[in-house]
């Protein structure tokens, strides 16, 4: 097989495929200044909601994001029809496959797991506001919410979004890309003293990545459609309807089942000031994983019975892949530290 054909084949095996008949995404040739998001958002709302009275439109800027800028637009007293305008952060195309993000959005919406995607514009997207409350580090430990989250992740993992090929994990491709960016951008002449002092050498990072791939690839974790970024605030709880939904699909891809779960367990520690004492105990994990396996087998039409061996196997896989999650987001943070205009201590 030629190099080009091999590359195309790999792309097909890791690519998310949108269901036939999915609605076409509207595209607007509008650029929104990330330093003046509200003004650009109003131009988009004129196109998306021409019937709205400009004098009654209100906006709310969300400040929790670490990758993009986000503003909600709505008409007074009509919060149910809030339109979210997300402006991509500076140079985030280096770390996010935007075409893949749109496909993930469409697939997840088609399966009832995501809001409607209204349009794209030159440097962002507009989509439906999902009713509910974003969770925090205490919520994800709540026994009721914990099980809702496990079931929702199982539902996503059971979605088939490939073209008949056996899907391959995107983890190593993505990690290799991040590594090449770090190796290229962070040389010995890097101006940031913290980077020089705290980042291991390229040789050490390369060896660690190779070791990780050789050991983790042998664990036998299934490759499924993953969210890959299930931090607390990316989970919305709708108490009225009694369910949770996941938002923000920038990193969604085919990946190891255990990576997605292990990454979520890492997020129990929080983000701004992580406290790894909050990492879930073995008992809490086994409760979560048992609920997950029951739901995953049900959604995959493989019954509901969960054996002790299945539970223990997944527990081991998840806690090993949690280490790969740290490594992955470590690369991500280095790249963000170089380019992001958002106020956040990425190096820390």
Q: Give 200-228 pLDDT, tens digit per residue.
A: 778 888 899 999 999 999 999 999 999 99
In the chain, DSSP finds a helix count (H) and a strand count (E) of 10, 11
DSSP characters over 265-293 = HHGGG-SSS--GGGSPPHHHHHHHHHHHH
Query: What is the residue extent of each domain of the chain?
Result: 1-129, 134-339
- Give the closest residue to 253 by CA, choosing from 169, 330, 325, 172: 169
pLDDT band at 199 (very low <50, low <70, confident <90, very high): confident
228 with 175: CB under 8 angstroms? no
Model confidence at 172, pLDDT cuts 50, 70, 90, reads very high
How many C-beta atoms lie closer than 10 Å to residue 220's C-beta? 9
Q: Is the pLDDT of residue 20 over 90?
A: no
Distance CA 70, CA 87 (A): 6
pLDDT (tens digit per residue) in 244-253: 999 999 999 9
Residue pair 264/197 in contact by the 8 Å Cβ criterion: no
Rounded average pLDDT over 133-137: 96
| Structural contact between residues 146 and 285, judged by C-beta atoms closer than 8 angstroms | no
CA distance 343 to 338: 12
Percent helix, strand, coil in the chain, to 5, is 50, 15, 35
Please compute Rg for the chain using Cα positions: 21
**Residue, of 182 and 241, whose pLDDT is higher:** 241
Q: Closest by alpha carbon to 65, among 272, 296, 221, 239?
A: 272
| Contacts of 230 by beta carbon, 8 Å cutoff, 6+ apart | 149, 153, 246, 260, 263, 264, 267
- Confidence bin at 1 (pLDDT 50/70/90): low
Determine if the pTM surpasses 0.75. yes
Name the pLDDT band for 161 (thresholds 50, 70, 90): confident
Residue 178 confidence (pLDDT): 93
* pLDDT more than 70, % of the chain: 92
Contacts (Cβ under 8 Å, ≥6 apart) of 72: 59, 60, 62, 82, 83, 84, 85, 129
For residue range 305-344, list pLDDT tens digits in order: 999 999 999 999 999 999 999 999 999 998 888 888 888 8
Q: What top-level class would CATH report for the domain 1-129?
A: alpha beta
Give the rounded distance of the alpha carbon of 29 from its chain centre: 26
* Cα 326 from Cα 312, distance rounded (Å): 22
- The class level of CATH for 134-339 reads alpha beta
Q: What is the pLDDT of residues 41-99, one digit of tens each?
A: 999 999 999 999 999 999 998 876 667 889 999 998 788 899 999 999 888 898 999 99
Residues 261-301: pLDDT tens digits?
A: 999 999 999 988 899 999 999 999 999 999 999 999 999 99
- pLDDT more than 90, % of the chain: 70
């Amino acid at each position: 097989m030629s190099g080009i054909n091999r590359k195309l084949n790999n792309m097909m095996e890791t690519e998310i495929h949108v269901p036939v008949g999915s609605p076409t995404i509207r595209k607007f040739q509008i650029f929104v200044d990330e330093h003046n998001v509200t003004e650009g958002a109003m131009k988009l709302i004129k196109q998306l909601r021409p019937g709205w009275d400009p004098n009654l439109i209100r906006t709310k800027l969300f400040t929790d994001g670490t990758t993009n800028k986000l503003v909600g637009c709505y008409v007074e007293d009509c919060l149910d029809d809030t339109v979210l305008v997300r402006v991509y952060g500076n140079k985030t195309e280096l770390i996010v496959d935007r075409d893949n993000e749109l496909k993930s959005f469409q697939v997840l919406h088609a399966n009832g797991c995501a809001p409607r995607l209204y349009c794209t514009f030159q440097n962002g997207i507009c989509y439906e506001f999902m009713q509910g409350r974003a969770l925090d580090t205490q919520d994800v430990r709540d026994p009721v919410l914990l099980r809702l989250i496990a079931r929702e992740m199982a539902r996503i993992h059971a979605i088939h979004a490939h073209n008949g090929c056996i899907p391959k994990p995107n983890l190593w491709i993505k990690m290799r890309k991040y590594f090449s960016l770090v190796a290229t951008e962070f040389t010995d002449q890097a101006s940031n003293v913290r980077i020089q002092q705290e980042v291991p050498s390229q040789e050490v990072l390369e060896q660690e990545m190779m070791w990780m791939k050789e050991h983790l690839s042998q664990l036998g974790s299934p490759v499924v459609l993953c969210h890959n970024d299930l931090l607390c605030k990316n989970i919305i709880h709708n108490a009225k309807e009694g369910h949770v939904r996941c938002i923000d699909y920038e990193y969604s891809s085919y990946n190891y089942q255990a990576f997605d779960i292990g990454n979520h367990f890492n997020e129990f520690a929080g983000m701004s000031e992580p406290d790894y004492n909050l990492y879930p105990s073995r008992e809490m994990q086994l409760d979560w994983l048992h609920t997950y396996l029951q739901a995953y087998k049900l959604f995959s039409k493989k019954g509901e019975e969960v054996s002790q061996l299945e539970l223990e196997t997944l527990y081991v896989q998840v806690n090993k892949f949690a280490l790969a999650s740290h490594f992955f987001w470590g690369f991500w943070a280095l790249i963000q530290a170089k380019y992001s205009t958002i106020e956040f201590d990425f190096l820390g």
